[in-house]
Structure 1
Amino acid sequence: MAESVSRKGRQEQANFMHVDDLGGLEVLQATYRRQTFSRHSHEGFCVGVIDEGAQRFYRTGGEHVAPLGSVILVNADDIHTGSSASEDGWSYQAMYPKPELLAFLSRDLKTVAGATPYFPNPVVQDAGLAGQLRLAFGMMRSNENRLVKETLVFSALTWLMLRHGKSRIEPATQSKAQSQIARIKAFLDDFPEANISLLELAEKAGLSPYYLLRQFQQATGLPPHAYQIQARLRKGRQLLKAGNGVLETALACGFHDQSHFHRHFRKSIGVTPGDYVKSLR
């Protein structure tokens, strides 16, 4: 069964859904006019279709515009933004499959060969794929059985990887600085609520504050303080899923108060923490 919640504003509407039959796959169907997404990232991929208008967004070092009928692709952990590219805003549907799911589906694909795929193009024009994705989105909102939903969703994602996926080639070794940056990233992921200073992070890394800032942003696309906010939001979603209250979650994640949490959550997820909780029921 799909659990969803709708949020309607004067000119905006967002429906966030967890598809239980697909392991809690997160799906968003939205119409935005004034909504802007600040720089953020997702643990999963973002695969979306523009149904009306056009969206402007940053990804992979540049600005892109996704017009009507195009498919939006954002890799897991890619820093990206989002806003309207037209006066009337934009409507779209998006799903956020985890890397493990795509790696599982790609086991028999020559282009990816069982690895987590990488999508080099942020926007693709592929009417067939867009149609398959729309069918999948419609099926996820229906009461059809799990087998039907899996068939359409997995087929669409497999087609996506076959036509537009590549294998990301990782370097065999890391430089000392990369290892130190990875250590800081892991610390912020594990303890996002920590009230830690730049000097303390630099000491942990064994780097100067300036060099840490430069290398961290080069590696992650965000400075440490902005990355910490994203880590706090990831922890926040985990706590909300576990049944914790919004205020309790906000404070546990290191936010000053509930409004601080609310503001950052909506700028990254597109719905409020309260709406996100309702989608879990």
Structure 2
Amino acid sequence: MQEWANYLHLQELGGLELLKARYHQKQFSKHVHEGYCIGVIEEGAQSFFRTGQLHTAPKGDIILVNADEIHTGSSAVESGWGYRAIYPTPEMLLEISQDFFTIKNSVPWFTNAVIHDIGLAQQLSLLFDLLEQKENTLLKESMYLSTLARLIGKYGRAKVTPLNLPEACKKIELVKELLVSFPERNFSLTELAHYVGLSPWHFLREFKKCTGLPPHSWLVQIRLHKARQLLKYGHSIAMTAQNCGFSDQSHLTRHFKKAMGVTPSQYIIHLK
């Protein structure tokens, strides 16, 4: 069965991404998105890892992955799965969230990975239909906001950042900030460990414990994040690969497709 995926970049909604895809044998490796994944399964069933366990979403169910949350994706049935999803960033949801949460500057956290809510799934599908159409900006914005407000109001919880993180996790946060600032650099494990005063083995163990991924895998995700931004700003794929620390264009393409389900060329084809 043929596999395909299309990304739309909706500039009228701040660059919101809409994915429409059909997969059969595709298996997404562990990865993260800077935005939330809010989708509806339209064919078959999907299986994915999130919140430390495996979930299954059949046709008609809503899938939810929080921003920066490690997850995977594969088919739960022989026929594969088809779905549509949007990827709003935390910044996009911040203003909406203020009407639901008393905690200042909090963004939503969805505890459920799969939701069976026929009415909301139908509303999301109508939103996706509308987003695929041209023009109708006012109607798109209104439908987008009302749908997300319904989702957040019913299933969202305020995400609270613990003030008293364990000392090791505080150190890991410093390393993550370093990697975000210089994703193109080829750091060594020893260099990162010494940066926060840990032995390489202790650092490696604590990094995976705090983030769910080893340092090299986390760095790849940060590089992919930067690559998506550069591609949106019109940089060539070859230049993007060079500026993000990938050895060459094919290296970027291989990691990009494993995490995004499309190649960089397919990702930017509908950029306006």
TM-score band, normalised by shorter chain? over 0.9
Equivalent-residue separation in structure 2 for 1:274 and 1:170 (angstroms): 37
Residue 94 (structure 2) pairs with residue 107 (structure 1):
no
1:1-281 equivalences in 2 (<5 Å): 11-110=2-101, 115-281=106-272
Structure 2 Cα separation of the partners of residues 169 and 228 of structure 1: 25
Instruction: Give 1:263 shift.
Output: 0.9
Return the offset for 1:112. Answer: 7.0
CA distance, structure 1, for counterparts of residue 76 and residue 68 of structure 2: 24
Q: 1:114 to 1:147 in 2, by over 3 A?
A: farther
8 Å CA contact retained: 1:50, 1:70:
yes
**Letter aligned with residue 171 of structure 1:** P
Unaligned runs of 5+ in 2: none
Task: Calculate percent identity across the aligned residue pairs.
Answer: 51
Residues 240/104 of structure 1: CA separation in 2 closer, same or farther (3 Å cut): same
> What secondary structure, in the 3-state scheme, does the structure 1 residue paired with 2:2 have?
coil
Shift of 1:256: 1.5
CA 1:49–1:111 in 2, change beyond 3 Å: closer, same or farther? farther
In structure 1, what is the Cα distance between the partners aligned to 2:114 and 2:165? 31
Give the TM-score normalised by structure 1.
0.93
Cα deviation, residue 275, structure 1? 1.2
Aligned partners of 2:224, 2:117: CA distance in 1, in Å?
33
* Equivalent residues of 2:44, 2:58 under 8 A apart: yes
- TM-score, length basis structure 2: 0.96
Displacement, 1:26?
0.4
TM superposition shift of 1:111: 7.6
Partners in 2 of 1:252 and 1:98 — Cα distance? 23
Compare 40-49 and 105-114 and name the one that shifted more. Answer: 105-114
Q: Distance in 2 between matches of 1:241 and 1:92?
A: 23
Counterpart of 2:77, as a letter, is: S
Conserved 8 A contact 2:204-2:214: yes
* Greater CA drift, 103-112 or 264-273: 103-112
- Does the 8 Å contact 1:66/1:123 carry over to 2? yes
For 2:207 and 2:156, the matched residues in 1 are separated by 27
Q: 1-side partners of 2:125 and 2:103: how far apart?
A: 24
Bigger Cα displacement from structure 2, 150-159 vs 209-218: 209-218
Pick closer, same or farther for the CA change 1:102–1:271 going to 2, 3 Å: same
Indicate how the Cα distance of structure 1 residues 110 and 188 shifts in structure 2: closer, same or farther if over 3 A, else same: closer
Whether the 8 Å contact between 1:37 and 1:268 is mirrored in structure 2 is: yes
Segments of 5+ residues of structure 1 without an aligned counterpart are 1-9
Q: Distance between the aligned counterparts of 1:91 and 1:123, measured in 2?
A: 15
Distance 1:111 1:58 in 2: 31
Q: How many aligned residue pairs are there?
A: 272
> What is the alpha-carbon distance in structure 2 between the residues aligned to residue 228 and residue 153 of structure 1?
32
Counterpart contact for 2:101–2:158, Cα < 8 Å = no
CA RMSD of aligned residues (A): 1.4
Query: Equivalents in 2 of 1:152, 1:37: separation in Å?
Result: 30
Q: CA deviation at 1:142?
A: 1.0
